[in-house]
């Protein structure tokens, strides 16, 4: 199976973001012919005000970002793991931070809403209060492609190992993590956490990031990028650097079984009261 991770610098021009995502996926498809493509977190809209986010959000199924992914999946017969987009939620004053996955026919294969909200104060003093505008999800989501089971997570979820253990318990062999990791946390924590989650779950870990700056209110905020493919042994088999583009890699699902036979951690788990 060949995978491609799309690295973007999204801003608060939704039409431009969607056009960029389309162009990057078309480039990756033409040059690499992947089976599966992943976009980064909130590839459709980053920054802006709370009101701007609501205006950009889509009622699913449907909307410009949703339709673009659906169209390309069917046109190129490729699975698209749609990073995440802003989703309007009926009767809810907040939006969803939502992954939608499309199969090779353009049909919706899975939908996952980010569970853990990024409510922190960064080392530079910038405050992030995701829960003010986004409603957390509550479901663990997996889906199957060509007999291989994928697990879903988004960005800040990376810091919560229990979610990834739950995905592994549900049979995940590959875990996808679209993200918009901050520059300050990313430079110290991104790779080590991605490798840790891969080692703990003995899965391939595919982490796709936003890169560069975007404007949030009156602040300029920076994201880390460095999209990465990690194998079940924790080896980095592909990575992007700074800047917009993509990284592609071949993965071998049989390696998951080999690693799990060598170190059968799932059989050695102890449940604590």
Query: What is the tens place of the pLDDT at every residue in 47-59?
Result: 988 899 999 999 9
Task: Kindly name the residue from 38, 155, 194, 202 that is annotated as catalytic.
Answer: 155
Residue 271 is assigned to a structural domain of this protein: no
Residue 250 is assigned to a structural domain of this protein: yes
Tell me the sheet residues that pair with 209. Answer: 179
Residue 101 is assigned to a structural domain of this protein: yes
* Predicted model pTM: 0.97
Residue 270 is assigned to a structural domain of this protein: no
**Tens of pLDDT, residues 223-236:** 999 999 999 999 99
State the pLDDT confidence band at 156, using cuts at 50, 70 and 90: very high
Domain span at 88: 2-265
146: pLDDT strictly greater than 90? yes
Task: Kindly name the residue from 14, 38, 87, 114 that is annotated as catalytic.
Answer: 114
- The dihedral of CA 272, 141, 50, 47: what is its sign? positive
State the pLDDT confidence band at 158, using cuts at 50, 70 and 90: very high
Residue 50 is assigned to a structural domain of this protein: yes
Three-state SS for 156? helix
Is 2 annotated in the active site? no
CB-count burial class (<10 Å; 0-12, 13-18, 19+) for 269: exposed
**Tens of pLDDT, residues 163-203:** 999 999 999 999 999 999 999 999 999 999 999 999 999 99
State the pLDDT confidence band at 216, using cuts at 50, 70 and 90: confident
Q: Could you tell me which residue, 143 or 124, shows the higher pLDDT?
A: 143
pLDDT at 205: 98
Instruction: Please provide residue 36's backbone torsions phi and psi, each rounded to the nearest 5 degrees.
Output: -145, 135
267: pLDDT strictly greater than 90? yes
Is 152 annotated in the active site? no
Instruction: Please provide residue 212's backbone torsions phi and psi, each rounded to the nearest 5 degrees.
Output: 80, -165
State the pLDDT confidence band at 76, using cuts at 50, 70 and 90: very high
**CATH code for the domain of 196:** 3.60.110.10
Residue 62 is assigned to a structural domain of this protein: yes
- In the chain, the number of structural domains is 1
**Tens of pLDDT, residues 19-57:** 999 999 999 999 999 999 999 999 999 998 889 999 999
State the pLDDT confidence band at 124, using cuts at 50, 70 and 90: confident
Contacts of 238 (CB under 8 A, 6+ apart): 5, 228, 229, 247, 248, 249
Is 114 annotated in the active site? yes
Task: Kindly name the residue from 41, 58, 87, 202 that is annotated as catalytic.
Answer: 41
Residue 202 is assigned to a structural domain of this protein: yes
122: pLDDT strictly greater than 90? no
Residue 133 is assigned to a structural domain of this protein: yes
Average pLDDT over the chain, rounded to whole? 97
State the pLDDT confidence band at 125, using cuts at 50, 70 and 90: confident
For the stretch 221-246, what's the b/e string if a residue is b when 16 or more beta carbons lie within 10 angstroms of its beta carbon?
bbbbbbbbbbbbebeeebbbeeebbb
């Amino acid at each position: 199976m060949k995978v491609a991770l799309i690295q973007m610098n999204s801003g608060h021009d939704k039409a431009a973001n969607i056009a960029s995502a389309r162009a990057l996926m078309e480039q990756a498809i033409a040059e690499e012919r992947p089976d599966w493509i992943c976009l980064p977190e909130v590839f459709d809209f980053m920054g802006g005000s709370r009101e701007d986010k609501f205006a950009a959000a889509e009622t699913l199924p449907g909307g410009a970002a949703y339709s673009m992914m659906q169209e390309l999946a069917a046109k190129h017969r490729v699975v698209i793991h749609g990073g995440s987009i802003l989703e309007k939620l009926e009767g809810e004053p907040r939006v969803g931070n939502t992954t939608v996955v499309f199969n090779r026919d353009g049909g919706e294969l899975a939908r996952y809403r980010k569970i853990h909200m990024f409510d922190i104060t960064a080392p530079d003093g910038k405050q992030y209060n995701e829960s003010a505008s986004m409603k957390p999800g509550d479901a663990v989501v997996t889906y199957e492609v060509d007999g291989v089971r994928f697990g879903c997570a988004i960005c800040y979820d990376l810091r919560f190992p229990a979610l990834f253990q739950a995905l592994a318990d549900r049979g995940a062999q590959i875990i996808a993590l679209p993200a918009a990791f901050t520059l300050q946390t990313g430079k110290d924590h991104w790779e080590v956490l991605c490798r840790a989650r891969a080692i703990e779950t003995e899965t391939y870990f595919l982490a796709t990031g936003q890169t560069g700056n975007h404007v949030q209110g009156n602040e300029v905020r920076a994201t880390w990028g460095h999209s990465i493919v990690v194998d079940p042994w924790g080896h980095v088999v592909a990575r992007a650097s700074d800047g917009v583009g993509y990284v592609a890699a071949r993965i071998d699902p049989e390696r998951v079984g080999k690693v799990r036979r060598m170190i059968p951690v799932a059989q050695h788990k102890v449940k604590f009261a």
